[in-house]
Each structure stands twice: as C-alpha cells, then as structure tokens.
Structure 1
Amino acid sequence: MAELWPFHGPHPAPLLAVHERLTWYSPANRTHRVRVTRHSCECRSILFELCHAAGQAFIRRTIRGNGDPVAHETDWLLTAAAECLYQRILRGEAR
C-alpha cells in the first residue's frame, strides 16, 4: 500500500506577534474553473489553498467546524504576489 504522506500539505505556523491582518471576502465566483495548486494540511480545522483562475491567483481559506464549511478568499492578485502571500500565511506572517 502506498504511503499517504506526499498528499498532505504543510501545517501553517502559529501566528507571529506582529503579523499582517488580511481582508477575507465572500467567494466572488468570477469563473467556473479554479485550479488549486497548493494547500495546507487537511487535518486542521482551517485549510488554506493557493488558487489560480483567469490568469490571476488568490488564497482561499476554508473554516471547518461542526456545521457546513465556510470559505472566504483574498483579493485576486498577480500570480507571484499570491504565491508570496501563501508562503507568508504558512510562516505565520499573515492571516
């Protein structure tokens, strides 16, 4: 049986004392096709995904609790800026 560890994403680091507070918006549904290229580990209650669509990128945050999951997303950004933001979220520098 194959190992499952390659399918797990990284765990986001705890928030730093000084961090950027991001603005999270309701999903814009701008396009029918969104490609998730990276994601944090699904074992946590909050999942972060780096998403690409229509030549831009954004971060999707899904909060899973007792009820239905609730998703929000950042502004749509240039791909390089969204990739940098995703790394900052993982390092605890932004949320």
Structure 2
Amino acid sequence: MTDCLAPHVPVPQSGYVRLTWLDPRGDVRCRVVAWTCDCKALIYELCELGGLGFIRRTVQGDTITVTETHRMPIWQVRQLWAAVLVGMAR
C-alpha cells in the first residue's frame, strides 16, 4: 500500500501523443486544480485561469525544469489531462 495521495505518472503507452512544451509564461497566477504525485522526478499539474487551462510539467533532478503547454479552453485541457493520466499524452 502506498502513502501517496495523488496519481503517479504512468509509463507512456504505444501511440501516445507527444506534447509541445514551452517555457513558463509566468505572467499571471493560476489555480492548480489537479496534480500527479511528487514522489517521482516527473510531476504534472493541471492549471486553470480565466476560462483557460494548461498543463505544467516539472522535472526534478540536479536542477528543476518547469515547462507548460499552451493555453487552451478548460474542456480541452481536461481531456488532455485525462490522456496524461492514462499514458496517452506526455
């Protein structure tokens, strides 16, 4: 049994979609509404702001690298989030 409360990032599935990752805009505050477990080196966060959303990816190692998807309508980013959680997008 694990003590983790958030889902873990799954292994990419065959035929998964490769997302385009951009440098963080950092121009506005957002609300993080869901996230994957931070016990691993790769963490994803579902972020929403003003009717739009994006996914933030953090890679932890010797350095921390943060990237984000482009902004998109909330319904679309939630579909993308679901794909990330089952290994069909990364």
Question: TM-score of the superposition, structure 2-length normalised?
Answer: 0.91
Q: 1:92 aligns with which of 76, 87, 90?
A: 87
RMSD (Å), alpha carbons: 1.2
Name the residue aligned to 1:71. Answer: 66
Deviations 1:1-56 (A, max 9, x none): xxxx5x7210122101211111000001231x211000000101010000011221
Q: Which amino acid aligns with 1:51?
A: C
Name the residue aligned to 1:30. Answer: 27
CA distance in 1, matches of 2:68, 2:20: 8
Name the residue aligned to 2:14. Answer: 17
Identical aligned residues as a percent: 33
Name the residue aligned to 2:46. Answer: 50
Q: Structure 1 residue runs of 4+, over 2 Å off? A: none
What number of residue pairs does the alignment pair up?
88
Greater radius of gyration (CA) = 1
| Structure 2, unaligned runs of 5 or more | none
